[in-house]
A and B are shown apart, each in its own frame.
Chain A
Amino acid sequence: MRTAMRVLVILILGVAPAWAVLGEYESSVSVDQQYLKGEIREQVRPGYKLHQITASNGTTVREYVSPDGKVFGVAWSGPFAPNMQQLLGSYFPELDQAARSQVRRRGGPLVVRTDKLVLVSAGHMRSFHGHAYVPSLLPNNVSAEVVR
């Protein structure tokens, strides 16, 4: 029984980071870097850390890490939209839920504001930008406006 559990735990750990990012621990950032095949830069800012990954196709993804090591926000800009499922992880379903209230709205940005998630997916073909953050994970004294 114990052996089986151990195997299961390892399997989950092996798979989970592929879905990690928003709300996950910092280690998931390197998985994004592999996915984006990009260059990564790290900066320490007052109250948080910023990882910036620039993909070879020109799209930049920025991930914001709180002092306790969790990704509290992600932002992107560039000619192509990132993989939203990969970036948003377990928060991704919020997107469709919120979109169901916006049935007459089409073609512009998508703005989602729920208790769990704030997300903006904006721009147009050849130029996308947006951000997503988890309000409950924002570090003290850090404005949501830094996630840009």
Chain B
Amino acid sequence: MTFRNDSKAMLARFLAVLAGALAIVACGGSSSTPTPTPTPVANTVTAEVNAGPANNSTNMLFVTVTVCLPGTTTCTDIPNVQVDTMSEGLRVLSTALGTLGSSLPTIQDSSSNVLQECIQFADTTYIWGPVATADVTMAGEKASSVPIQVISNPAAFDVPSSCLTLGNPGPQGNLNTVATLGANGIIGLGNFAQDCGGACTSASSNPPAQYFICPQNVCSVPAVPLNDQLWNPVALFAADNNGVMITMPAIDPGGQATASGSLIFGVGTQTDNALGSATLYATDTGGDIRSSYGGISYPAFFDTGSTGIYFLDYATLGITECTDTYGNPTGFYCPASPVNYTVTNTDGNGNGTTGSATFTIANADTLFSNGNSSFFAFNDLGGDSGSGPSSDSVDFGMPFFFGRTVYIGIEGTTVPNGVSAPNGYFAY
């Protein structure tokens, strides 16, 4: 199946590549004049953890993203978009887009069916809505005609019924409102260029139930070319397009109301984003590295989209769980006093790179009550990742990012220090 916006988006990208090629030719040809130093593009935006637009967000990292009608200066600034280093693509609530929400060109097949997406996260929450194209700008960086997801109001768009067979259809699963999302949108800036990749490009290979078309409200799963899938917008920037660097300040172990840092585009592309002495861990094909604790190796990753450090399980660690008034686990750890942990990380690409990572887990009930329950940034919030070693993992969530600089490299890009990382990397 082909989609209508293909030719336009591809033309735009082709033109961007062509413009770059012409610029190189122009520089190379002028041998009698000194090679002009390219003016660095502004590559930094403020990234802040705070209460969020619904005043209920825990450890969510927010940036402002400018969304424009493709090729125009008709734009809207979207504040409070959550930075997620373990997903790809921009997803924005239609309510936050204002009038742009209905005017962005949707991606359609030859029968004018709008491409819809149901994206499911590991915690079984889901987001649904149509795919549209927009110009996405942050600082001086711009991704032109990039497919984004418009998170629907129920009244505005058809809901693919198959969407609800994947995620949790209960109230805890639905992230389609500002209250449940806790943000105006999510911007995925992870290791991959697209959110699905090759698996969604062929209908004969049983593609996952992620993209849909729904003629007469009967949904099916079409083949979706890479160009029509949601893209990590950084991968489409003209420069600084090989990854991101996130720098957050150290914060009080008791928590803070806000914490403000930086999201910097590119790795080793400008003077402000050098790798320096950071250790680079190449990821495996699924985006994981390995982390060892107590002699057992677990899958591990670095995720600003995770509110806590989700680390093994309470029984394996011998740590107390927090429970609510009904005695049900709240998903966090509640040790009597803070516990320090050190794990050994190993890259996921067989390079043999190893190093340690240290973090602290404190009592979540205490943290949430500190500051009259007005704190939203915590560097020592942790919880369980599984039910035993066979299902456990190490999710270095937002708490790990405070007091550190963490780099996320995109698959297939040039790695500044020459380490082999075809699937991308994490570095810190």
Contacts and interface: CB of A to CB of B under 8 A. Distances in A.
Contacts of A55: 206
A10 to B, nearest CB: 25
- Which of A93, A97, A113 gathers most chain B CB within 10 Å? A113
A83 B209 contact: yes
A108 B395 contact: yes
B288 A127 contact: yes
Interface stretch (A21-29, A42-50, A64-72, A99-107): A99-107
A95 B332 CA distance: 17
User: What class of interface size applies to chain B in its complex with A?
Assistant: 35 or more
Interface in A102-132: 102-111, 113, 118, 120-131
Top-4 shortest CB links A-B: A96-B170, A127-B286, A148-B390, A105-B331
Interface of B: 58, 60, 84, 86-88, 119-125, 165-173, 182, 188, 190, 192, 195, 197, 199, 205-210, 286-288, 299, 301, 303, 305-308, 310, 313, 324, 326, 328-332, 368, 383-391, 393, 395, 397
Contacts of B58: 104, 106
Decide if the interface of chain B is mainly helix, strand, loop or mixed: loop
A65 B406 CA distance: 44
Contacts, number: 191
Contact-residue bracket for chain A: 35 or more
B165 A110 contact: no
A147 B387 CA distance: 11
Contact of A129 (B60, B197, B299, B303): B299
A79 B286 contact: yes
Interface of A: 36-37, 55-59, 79-81, 83-86, 93, 95-111, 113, 118, 120-131, 144-148
A121 B83 CA distance: 22
Contacts of B169: 85, 96
Contacts of A126: 192, 197, 286-287
B391 A108 contact: no
Nearest to A59: B208
Contact of B331 (A95, A102, A148): A102
A83 B165 contact: yes
Given A57-B206, A104-B330, A107-B303, A125 B190 contact: yes
A107 B305 contact: yes
Contacts of A80: 199, 208, 210
A129 B134 CA distance: 33
